[in-house]
Structure 1
Amino acid sequence: MIGKILGGRYEIVEKVGGGGMALVYKAKCNLLNRYVAVKILRSEFTSDKDIIEKFKRESQAAASLSHPNIVNLYDVGEEDDIYYIVMEYVKGRTLKEVIKEKGILTLNEIINYTKQIALALQHAHYNHVIHRDIKPHNILITEDNRAKVTDFGIAIAASSSTITNMGSVIGSVHYFSPEQARGGYIDEKSDLYSLGIVMYEMATGTVPFEGDSPITVALKHIQQDPVPPSEVYPAISKNLEEIILKLMQKDQASRYQNAQSLIVSLGKLKEDAVDNEMTMMLNHEDSPTQIIPRIKEEDFEVPKVSAPKPAPKSKKSNNKLVIAAAIVAALIAALLFTFGLFYVSNLNFFRTEEVVVPGLEGKNIEEAREIVKELGLQLEERSTHTTETPINEIISQETNAGMKVKPGYTIRVVVSAGPDMANVPDLIHEDAVNVPLLLANRGLKAGTPREEFSEFPIGTVIDQNPRGGSSLPAGSTVDYVVSKGPQVVTFSMPTLIGETRERAEAILRQQQLEIGNVSEGDSNEYAKGLVIFQSIPPETQVSQNTVVNLIISRGPEVIQEPEDITPPEDEPEEGQEEEQSASTNLSTQNVTIQLQGHKGIVELVIKRVSDGGEIYNRSHNVDNEGNRITIPVTGYPKEEFELFVNGQKHSKNIKLK
């Protein structure tokens, strides 16, 4: 590969590293005459279309990132089955090499590196890019001590199958989050977990989980709690340990929810570190005042050399020397005076005054603008939505407070734009089942629904708070009311037997009951035109619109004698005449119906077999009235009736005695 020219401009100079998916080469860009790093996909993956597509897509997405703490991606290309990306060439060491050299980093070093990495992740996450492979090997430390995160895109292209089919990439298992180890859902908090492992290693010189195999280590991420850093290195800052352990929580919801929250905590930790340093300086000076013996001339051990004695001079020559010396001294004094004037003047020929960067985090942006203007510095602002910082308050600054910079230097800050606002959808008349999804699509949450009776169908949204079209901070809850349908009011069935038909129908209409089938029947008890039967017995609890069937008396049955009476050949048996007489009279009998296996509302209908006329039609609530129901049935002796339960005919007919 050395000497090969890719894309007609990138000449491979030397191999500088490699990972599970790619090899890294130093190359010279012949077009811009600069050195770049070229990352080439390993040959064993060039036949895997899925990996190639992810390599291209994610590398191009990462190339859109532009941040001082992210290695810039310049180009993506393909040539002769060689898939490569071109990125900024960074002269320096990896953070892994720094840790190996120093063992344990100082508190200020940990804060400095972590904050720069967090700023890089904040920028990436803001642009919807997840790194997925944060580890010291992928963090470069430049010669001026700047941290730069690399391998964006390459890491993202690796899917959950990486563990099983990408040999050396499995080494990253020491920095995997639990959700990565078990192939679960990965988000910004997964990167923060990995950063917690990196901080653990910077603070203790070792990773929290070790094992004989990658699977063993992955299981420890899922199942075991890490050994507290203070047990590995007792001198660690307590506040630093709390930050590390919070980043390494197994549950994603228990970690820092975003990089900004971590940056805020690091800022507070930085203040504590400064206070501790000041206390140490006051209690233990590097160069304390001491009484020491006078240094004698012979202590220098300078060899003595004999010099020839000068010839004696006359007094006149001595006076000339004094005058000459005075003139020279005056000239020197004049030159020094002139130099001093230039030195203290505003011309600043020899140096430029430096300005101390102010601490702007937590300040209102207007106040920050005034401070920066007075110091002769520039301010570059970028806003982001957040619920954790008040609007117009500075969340973070790129250049650390206390650093010295030249006048005119630009300080980049991130300003809170307040919570991201979401438009509330109109939920009225929507099906309640769809409400959570409708709100989630707008970045909102569904509250606990409240139910009320209404004229709308059951399950329909009839009210909401706040109203549709209003704005709410993203993540807010919207409450809503769901219809339970019309409210059912029950009352006692009035007595209609003995009333005239007109009176009975008037009572039914007044009670908002439905008049069902009205038929006539013989009755020896009630006069013609009076009600002799109602399908729903009196005092039974009914609701509005219940159907009630009536039978109206047509008077006693009239039996006409035939003109020619022929006596029967045989006399009727004893009791037979009485039975025949009884068969012509209506009677009411109570029929008990068992509704085994039924629940809730059951529709019962009883029809005469002879003409199909309904004599009973009513709904029963089995839960309230029980499954054993007694119904009065009026008819002639031995007359048969059909029973229908929820529209299904019962297997047996009802037969009166």
Structure 2
Amino acid sequence: MIGKILGNRYEIIEKIGGGGMALVYKAKCKLLNRFVAVKILRPEFTSDEEFIRSFRKESQAAASLCHPNIVNIYDVGNDENDIYYIVMELVKGKTLKQYIKERGPLKPEEIINIAKQIALALQHAHNNHIVHRDIKPHNILITDDGRVKVTDFGIARAVTSSTVTNTGNVIGSVHYFSPEQARGGYIDEKSDLYSLGIVIYEMATGRVPFEGESPISIALKHIKEDVTPPSLINPQIPKALEDIIIKATQKDQTKRYNSTKEICEDLEQALKHPAGNFVTFEEHDDSPTQVIPAIKDDELDMDDEYEHKKRKKTNRRIVLSAIVTAFILALLFTGGVFYLKDKFIVPEKHIPKLVGISFEEAQRNLETLGFKVEKVGEKNSSEYKKGYVMGQEPAAGEIRKAGYTVKLTVSKGPELVEVPNFKNKNINEISYMLDNAGLKEGVVEYEYNSLPVGVIISQSPKAHEKVSKDTGVNFVVSQGPEIKLILMPNLVGENVRDAKKTIETSGLKIGKIEERFDEKIEKDIVISQSFKAGSEVEENKVINLVVSKGPEEITQPSEEEELQMKSVSFPLFYDQAKQEEFVLKIVKIQNGVSTDVYSEVQHKSDSGKRITIKGRDKATIEIYFDNELITKREIDFETGKIE
């Protein structure tokens, strides 16, 4: 089949599953260029007209349904080689059966979520007069994003007012089908609800309620035996969810939920009130009229024989009971009534599950059943609310006579502790305070504040509040003052007066203003700034400026000044010169005035040449190679000392 193209459109790629009637393949639709699932009737059934009719009914029923929790049907067809197929949505995920096997019993919230989605799919089908008749975890897909999709309407059929399964043909999956399906009786929407109840049971306990050596023995258990209360298998199941399961799996169809809408409403309630007592059970004294088919299986004949023997035994018991009753009446007249009542008449009943419900409700339930109640203690609990039962003796499911005293332990609620005052403390130094108080650190958030970095600004819960032990305390912590960054304006070429205003209005501060002679730039014009224009600087940053003094007015020193000037001679080494020939420039800075005192072309081979300059008092000498500052020297012209 791999590589075959069906309907000149669907190329079979690989087998991905199979059921009792059909095989499922992954295929590619060449027309729409997408992957699809193709269900193909098994070859051994292609000559069986009854199976072909059933297969066609599947395609007709499923194609009429359109719901987010039902697998979409894209196309149906019949290949020339008697290959009957249905093209469906390819769902990425796994079956609910695989999901349960991997995880075991699911959490109540997850059970309710999945059950609601299945119920909504069934509601859509039932509204279209279609009964699925094969609801089981194998036919329920869980997508990768958690959505539930019901598939395989392989035995679904349109419902009429007289829908009865044909004699001898019991259709469905034996672990999940309803008693009426096992008997071959009248099937309606409530049959799907029974199967849904079994699916919920398996999600809650990790197993099906009935097992047997053969399919017929399992079918008989569906007819005769009540399901074991799921809380006896998994004590974590909430009361409300257990009640929903019990109601959905009633043997009598009239005692089950009337519609998917009703079970959806109870599932919603169970999510909000897990310990609630809102599920109502119908009581019917009379036996409802049922359609009983003729079942010809040998095993069911054995069951009829078993029933016949059982009735004979029952008749003998009735006769025996009548004799015993007469005997008891005689004893009552002779004064032995109270003794016999205690020994023979006191009924025995199952102890209900009481953990997780209020003490008052537990007391009412026990007294209704004829038991006595004793509160044996109260304990703190973070799991159970105050006033709710957290322990019982005997355990749920055990049998005791009426009048037995059931002992209950009641929750006092979580242990409360006082929250210390953490404000103005360092976040890194409070772990011991949390430990001593029985608390733990919660969410820590940071925000700008005038407080030092790491200091706690506020807390939640507040100081001195009473909270449950192990509560997380949330903190808001200072990360210091907020640093605002300012885009540095361009001040070069501006008048120094305007530059000062720009600095102040930009949120910056005026720093040192150095004045320097410049042959090309007018007086009071900014030559340079301490931070490059366009760069980001912190608010209130100090900005230094270099301002032009205009061209230097050079005057010839007088003879008297010449005589007062001293000469200083010092050698220069040209190791730092980058080229063989370069311009050597020496600038003298005295009293804030810069003067070029030497500018000549030099050769590296002239290294060690002594340069003589004149001046008075002290000055700074800057030495440039090709306009690159190499070094600065401090010269005292009076002493001739060079530093």
Q: TM-score, with normalisation over the residues of structure 1?
A: 0.42
Q: TM-score, with normalisation over the residues of structure 2?
A: 0.43
